[in-house]
């Protein structure tokens, strides 16, 4: 008989870091090995962002993971997380290697193939008001291209390296920031850019976060 799914408990009106961790956790728990590891763990993890003042605490116990903002004094593990870009990093104190490995696996899962990430991004974007009818993506590392949506009319274009595309399509790098910093190159209207950036936030913080 299959075990019941692990429950997530997230505080009301959670700040962005808590919502981002909850979204990451819900996705990671779809992986059977990560879910099994989570089921075995017991502990309290407090994390702070390496940039800014945000922090969060995750309590793992009795097939439940509870998430809330802020750090706590009874944490078994305290860690600093760099959540920016496509490859987040974890710096944790020693003493609880299992919790540290679990946290690293949570915030830095194996990267999907970039077309898979782009497909998921388009599935979120296409449902948003004001989205372009089509999306064209060009990987500057490999020359590969992918097209999504209607074949009629102009498509919004995103060109970038594999790492940059994964950052955008995974929601870790909002498109407007990635474009402004020269990590990706885009072609489309500014109102569409706003919608595409909203799709990044929807993926990062849960669908609905990008609605405006």
Instruction: Answer whether residue 51 shows pLDDT above 70.
Output: yes
Mean pLDDT confidence for 41-65: 89
Query: What is the per-residue pLDDT for 1?
Result: 42
Query: What is the per-residue pLDDT for 211?
Result: 52
Calculated CA dihedral for residues 155, 160, 163, 166, nearest 10 degrees: -10
Query: What pTM value is reported for the model?
Result: 0.76
Instruction: Answer whether residue 3 shows pLDDT above 90.
Output: no
Map tokens 């790492």 to a residue. 163
CATH topology of domain 7-107: Nonspecific Lipid-transfer Protein; Chain A (3.30.1050)
Which range, 73-82, 85-94, 103-112, 162-171, is most confident?
162-171
Instruction: Answer whether residue 87 shows pLDDT above 60.
Output: no
> Is the CB of residue 78 less than 8 Å from the CB of residue 92?
yes
> Is the CB of residue 65 less than 8 Å from the CB of residue 83?
no
The neighbour count for residue 79, using CB atoms within 10 Å, is 19
DSSP class of residue 137? Answer: E
> Is the CB of residue 168 less than 8 Å from the CB of residue 178?
yes
CB proximity list for 202: less than 8 A, separation 6 or greater: 124, 128, 171, 208, 209, 210, 211
Rounded to 5°, angle at Cα 151 from 191 and 160: 60
User: Is 114-205 in the same CATH topology as 7-107?
Assistant: yes
Query: What is the per-residue pLDDT for 2?
Result: 53
Q: What is the pLDDT of residues 111-157, one digit of tens each?
A: 889 999 999 999 999 999 999 999 999 999 999 999 999 988 789 99
> Is the CB of residue 202 less than 8 Å from the CB of residue 138?
no
Helix (H, G, I), strand (E, B) or coil at 36: helix
Structure tokens at 13: 């009106």
What residue segments make up the domains of the chain, in order of their start?
7-107, 114-205
CATH topology of domain 114-205: Nonspecific Lipid-transfer Protein; Chain A (3.30.1050)
Q: What is the pLDDT of residues 55-66, one digit of tens each?
A: 999 999 989 999
CB proximity list for 93: less than 8 A, separation 6 or greater: 77, 78, 79
């Amino acid at each position: 008989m299959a075990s019941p799914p692990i429950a997530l408990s997230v505080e009301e009106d959670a700040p962005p870091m808590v919502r981002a961790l909850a979204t990451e956790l819900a996705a990671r728990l779809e992986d059977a090995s990560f879910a099994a590891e989570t089921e075995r763990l017991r502990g309290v993890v407090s994390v702070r962002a390496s940039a800014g003042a945000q922090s969060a605490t995750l309590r793992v116990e009795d097939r439940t993971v509870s998430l809330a903002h802020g750090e706590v004094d009874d944490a078994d593990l305290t860690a600093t997380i760099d959540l920016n870009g496509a490859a987040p990093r974890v710096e944790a104190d020693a003493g609880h290697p299992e919790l540290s490995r679990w946290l690293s696996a949570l915030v830095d899962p194996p990267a999907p193939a970039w077309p898979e990430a782009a497909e998921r991004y388009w599935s979120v974007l296409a449902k948003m008001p004001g989205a372009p009818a089509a999306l064209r993506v060009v990987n500057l590392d490999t020359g590969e291209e992918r097209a999504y949506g209607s074949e009629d009319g102009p498509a919004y274009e995103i060109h970038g390296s594999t790492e940059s595309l994964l950052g955008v399509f995974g929601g870790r790098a909002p498109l407007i920031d990635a474009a402004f910093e020269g990590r990706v190159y885009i072609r489309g209207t500014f109102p569409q850019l706003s919608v595409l950036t909203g799709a990044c936030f929807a993926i990062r913080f849960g669908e609905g976060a990008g609605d405006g």
